[in-house]
Chains A and B, each alone.
Chain A
Amino acid sequence: MISFENISVSYAEGRAVKDVSARAEAGELIALVGPNGSGKSTLLKAIAGLIKHDGETSFPQSPNARARVISYLAQNSTAPTLRKVKDIVALGRSPYLGPLLKLSQRDKDAVKKAAEACGTIALFDRAFGTLSGGEKMRVHLSRALATETQVLLADEPITALDPYYQISVMTILRQSANEGKTIITALHDLRFAKRFADRIWVMHNGRLVQDESSETALSPGVLHEVFRITPDGQTIS
């Protein structure tokens, strides 16, 4: 479960997120949609505790304690090109490791389970730099799942992927939600939002303007006012 109230984030140019309050239950997959610059990424970073914000969240304030509750998958995630995939996935266990960085059996089991869920075990001995874009994203997702947090925040995880990996990554997120995780993922593709999410949060000009089930959230009015498109896919000038 995740809840936050009156989250606001201000930059020098003005407020990027304005008084956003919401709640997501365990087992829910929330699609966070909105036009470019609507505040989706900023809201996710604020919830993850990565940027200063006003308002309240239901998470621990200490970075290490929070890292055991929320995983964050950054937009344009990266990793050293020489590093082996298994070592990158194991970094998801960092919040649990002692100073000697030794993985316990529980850590190894978590890494294996996350890699199995994402189909990355076959890539374990490959260097990260040799992977395709889709494989890299699945490795990052494995790393995020390996932390075994209650909540996963993913910032546009499928934006740069081909259709196969888009569906593959969304399916993994859906399965993780089915297993009890709370997942909030920023998406640009409204069809994926509708197909995979339980609920859709629509951001517009820094505000959360719609919070409904994926069946009803993207009404003609929302498409018109927020996305400037018609239900049959025409742009509105």
Chain B
Amino acid sequence: MSLRVWSVLLLLGCLLSMSVSLFVGPASLSFGDVISALQNRASEPVNTVIRDIRFPRAALAAVVGAGLGASGAALQGFTRNPLAAPGLLGFSACAALGAVLAVYFNANAWITPAAIGLSLVGAFAMTLFSRRKPGATGLVLAGIGIGALATAITGLVMNLAPNPWALSELVYWLMGSLKNADAADLAIAGPLTGIGVSMLCLSGPALRVLGLGEETAQSLGVSVGRTQGLIVIGCALCIGAGVAVAGAIGFVGLFIPHILRFLTRADEAWLIPLSALGGASFLVVIDTLIRATSGPGTPLYLGIVTSLIGVPFFLWLAWRQS
């Protein structure tokens, strides 16, 4: 089956899972209710459930998953390291620090700009530290260092939390969830992730050549510095926007590109867009399952479930490579 057919299938899978998610939730709605609500012709409560709660949540799951999948594929391609992912290279940690600082200072309206801002600051710092020699090694070292610093400061902020409630709010936020997703989040995260994924897709042709090694790629006219810039800013936008609206969601960026790598034969020009579609489908399915299985009092957190699925995969990968 050609990669074009797989792209269409993944897109259809994503749209199908989003459609199914509109029917899942505490309020039991018929097919007609959902269709009417999408056309804004249902009763006010049904309109609210679909248009203000379920649709933004499903769309945000797709947006966040797309950003994570594309970021992981681009980072793994650039570093030529199958273990590279936004979480391991500090993007998620920087964005999480921004959001945690906003929560700590009780400025919830600033969560989104703070997460995106700190993510971009982290990207800038990574570029600065690897400026003398852009490339995989420099980016990995800078990313791990900056991520460790951001994680340490996040720990310090939690350590200094003024009361147990503030601390619990921070802890729950870091677990990652889309339960508070709304249309305003979608209006911010959607375009930013769209720009980020587009930048990552633009890096695909250069990454395809970079698979031959940095020197060979340079000799074929590829600019390693420009490619790194596209990827670092693209990841910062995707991960900053994703963390801002959904908290820290791990491992999607690691294992979705891995599953699709075999399909695309590690061709990043295809792997990045397919990973975006795969990540989107995966996160919508997982979030829908969480809503279908969680009781009202004990909601499962999205970040925990993706990690529970992702960690065994990560260990299997490490075992297979050793």
- Could you list which residues of chain A lie within 8 angstroms of chain B, going by C-beta atoms? 45, 48-50, 63-64, 66-68, 70-74, 77-84, 87-88, 91-92, 94-95, 97, 99, 101, 127, 143, 147
B binding-site residues for A, Cβ under 8 Å: 80, 205, 208-209, 211-213, 215-216, 218-223, 261-262, 265-267, 269
Tell me, in angstroms, the Cα distance from A78 to B81 when the chains sit together.
13
Please tell me if the beta carbons of A91 and B267 are within 8 angstroms of each other in the complex: no
Chain A residues with CB below 8 A from B262, complex form = 82
In the bound complex, residues from chain B placing their C-beta under 8 Å from that of A77 are 212-213, 216
Nearest B-chain residue to A100, judged by Cβ: B205
In the bound assembly, the distance between CA atoms of A88 and B266 in angstroms comes to: 11
- Tell me which residues across on chain A come within 8 A of B220, comparing CB atoms: 67, 91-92, 94-95, 147
B residues near A101, Cβ cutoff 8 Å: 205, 208, 269
Enumerate chain A residues within 8 angstroms of B211, measured Cβ to Cβ.
Answer: 78-80, 83
The residues of A that contact B209 with a CB separation of less than 8 Å are 91, 94
Q: Are A78 and B212 in contact, with the CB atoms below 8 A?
A: yes
User: A-B pairs with the 4 shortest C-beta distances?
Assistant: A72-B219, A67-B221, A64-B221, A80-B266
Please give, as numbers and ranges, the residues of chain A lying within 8 Å of B80 by CB-CB distance.
80
User: Cβ of A66 and Cβ of B216 under 8 Å apart?
Assistant: no
Minimal beta-carbon separation of B241 from chain A (angstroms):
25
17 A–B pairs (Cβ distance < 8 Å), ordered by A: A49-B218, A63-B221, A63-B222, A63-B223, A66-B221, A67-B220, A72-B215, A74-B219, A77-B212, A77-B213, A78-B211, A78-B213, A95-B221, A99-B205, A101-B205, A101-B208, A143-B212
Does the CB pair B267–A87 fall under 8 Å?
yes
Tell me if A70 and B213 are in contact (CB < 8 A): no
Contacts of A70 in B (CB 8 A): 219
Which residues of the other chain, B, contact A67 by a CB distance below 8 angstroms? 219-221
Chain B nearest CB, measured from A148 CB (Å): 13
Report the nearest B residue to A64, measured CB to CB: B221
Q: How far is the CA of A219 from the CA of B209 in the complex (A)?
A: 42
Residue of chain A at shortest CB distance from B202: A99
**A-B contacts besides A84-B265, A88-B212, 11 pairs, CB < 8 Å:** A63-B218, A63-B221, A72-B215, A73-B216, A77-B213, A82-B261, A82-B266, A83-B267, A92-B220, A101-B205, A143-B212
Contact assessment for A50 and B221 in the assembled complex, using a CB-CB cutoff below 8 Å: no
Give the contacting residue for B216; candidates A49, A68, A74; CB below 8 A.
A74
B212 adjacent to A79 (CB under 8 Å)? yes
Contact indicator B218/A87 (Cβ below 8 Å): no
B275 CB → nearest A CB, Å: 15
Once the chains bind, are B219 and A91 in contact (CB under 8 Å)? no
B212 / chain A contacts, CB cutoff of 8 Å: 77-79, 88, 91, 143
Contact of A82 among B208, B216, B265, B269 (CB under 8 A): B265
**Which of B222, B262, B265 is the most central at the interface, judged by chain A CB atoms within 10 Å of its CB?**
B265
**Chain A residue contacts of B216, Cβ below 8 A:** 72-74, 77
Min CB gap A44→B, angstroms: 10
Question: In the complex, which residues of chain B have a beta carbon less than 8 angstroms from the beta carbon of A48?
Answer: 219
Q: Find the B residue at minimum CB distance from A93.
A: B220
Q: In the complex, which of the residues B222, B261, B265 contacts A87, with contact meaning CB atoms closer than 8 Å?
A: B265
User: What is the bound-complex CA distance between A188 and B169, given in angstroms?
Assistant: 65
A residues within 8 A CB of B269? 101
Residues on B with beta carbons closer than 8 Å to the beta carbon of A45: 215
Least Cβ distance of B134 to chain A in Å? 13
Q: Are B221 and A91 in contact (CB under 8 A)?
A: no
Min CB distance B261 to A, Å, is 7
Closest chain A residue to B268 by CB distance? A80
Give Cα A95 to B218, complex, Å.
11
* Cβ contacts under 8 Å, A95 to chain B: 220-221
Chain A residue at minimum C-beta to C-beta distance from B211: A80
Cα(A187)–Cα(B2), bound, Å: 43
Q: How far is the CA of A95 from the CA of B213 in the complex (A)?
A: 16
Q: Which residues of A contact B213 (CB under 8 A)?
A: 74, 77-78
- Which of B219, B221, B223 lies at the interface centre, i.e. has the most chain A CB atoms within 10 A of its CB? B219
Query: Within the complex, what minimum Cβ distance (angstroms) separates A11 from chain B?
Result: 12
Q: List A contacts of B218 (CB < 8 A).
A: 49-50, 63
Rounded to whole Å, the gap between the CB of A209 and the closest CB of chain B is 26
A72 to B212, CA, bound (A): 12
* In the complex, chain A residues whose CB is within 8 Å of the CB of B219: 48-50, 67, 70-72, 74
Contacts of B221 in A (CB 8 A): 63-64, 66-68, 94-95
* Distance of A76 from chain B, by nearest CB (Å): 8
Using CB atoms, name the residue of chain A closest to B264: A82
Q: A91 — which chain B residues lie within 8 A by C-beta?
A: 208-209, 212, 220
